[in-house]
Amino acid sequence: MAIRKSVFGSIDERQNFAKLMRTWGGTHNVYHNLPFLNVIAARDDLRDERGQLFRVTEAEYDLLKKASIDYTVCTKQDAPVVGIEFDGLDDGVNVGAAYFPREGRPVRQGRKYMLDLKLKVAHGAGFPFFVLGSQQFSGLADSVRLTIADGLIGEVLANQERERRFREFSPDQCGMSQEDFDVLSDSDRTSVIENWALEVEVMCDYEHNPIHRQVAQLSREVGATGESISFPRPAGIDMERFTVVQAAVRTRDGASAEAVLQLPEFRTPSCGITIGLAIEVAKLLALAKVQAIKRRSAR
């Protein structure tokens, strides 16, 4: 019996794992090729996208016994946080619990059935599970090593932390006693909570999503003073499956650049809406262009 030269199925699969480890290995455990049922208890009651209860069939469970997850990001206590299936074959992605190969690639029915099953069960359990292609694992720019995959993981972590903090709200987090908070009018209480919630959102994004941190860093570095965001609707793009964002940035010395990003609507647990991430990535791409312009002019 021969011993395989690598536990990874391809060079790309190994490189993607290294990229995940580079960004997340310090704060999380990242595993390759974990058994699917080690991560998700597929025998439990699950809920579909409409909120209806369902259970997997015996035939589906038998298939899942043989299935694995390419990459699983866990806490340091090994609680699973995010699962990613790398579609190196057809460069596809998920939109909700449905898998779509890259435009122009043939639909391999057996592969689609298995990926749809994994998505259905993972999402039904409330587990953030993505199908990503090579584009989502590519560095965003020459000077930006982060990837869309990093942004999605960060989005999940930020959203989960935000939900936790919202559940645990108390007036002392706003610098008020419960007594002082209780005597406020309804409108004043609403205003206090809204201001606190906005601060929590910003903090969670910055603390947990490296895309937001890199945007802030590059903005300071290039001296960004303004930005504009628009949402073009290019012909031939299925706007039910994709978000398209155009970002333009300008600096105090008159430099400017713009970038357009097309991002799938992943609609995954803890990452149901990706427009916020799309805006930040588009801004990051535009900032990277400004940085490149400034470096060339300084030579």
Q: What is the pLDDT of residues 133-178, one digit of tens each?
A: 999 999 999 889 999 999 999 999 999 999 999 998 888 988 888 9
Span 187-196, average pLDDT: 91
Span 257-268, average pLDDT: 96
Q: For residue 230, what are the CA distances in angstroms to 123, 249, 255, 274, 281?
A: 31, 12, 19, 15, 13
Please give the pLDDT value at position 1. Answer: 58
Query: Which positions ≥6 away from 35 have C-beta within 8 Å?
Result: 67, 68, 69
C-alpha 173/C-alpha 179 separation (Å) is 14
Please give the pLDDT value at position 297. Answer: 81
C-alpha 46/C-alpha 115 separation (Å) is 17
Which tokens sit at 198?
């906005």
Helix (H) or strand (E) holding 84, with range, is strand 80-86
The pLDDT tens digits of the residues spanning 70-92 come to 999 999 999 999 999 999 989 99
The pLDDT tens digits of the residues spanning 33-67 come to 999 999 999 888 999 989 999 999 999 999 999 99
The pLDDT tens digits of the residues spanning 220-243 come to 999 999 999 999 999 988 999 999
Please give the pLDDT value at position 290. Answer: 95
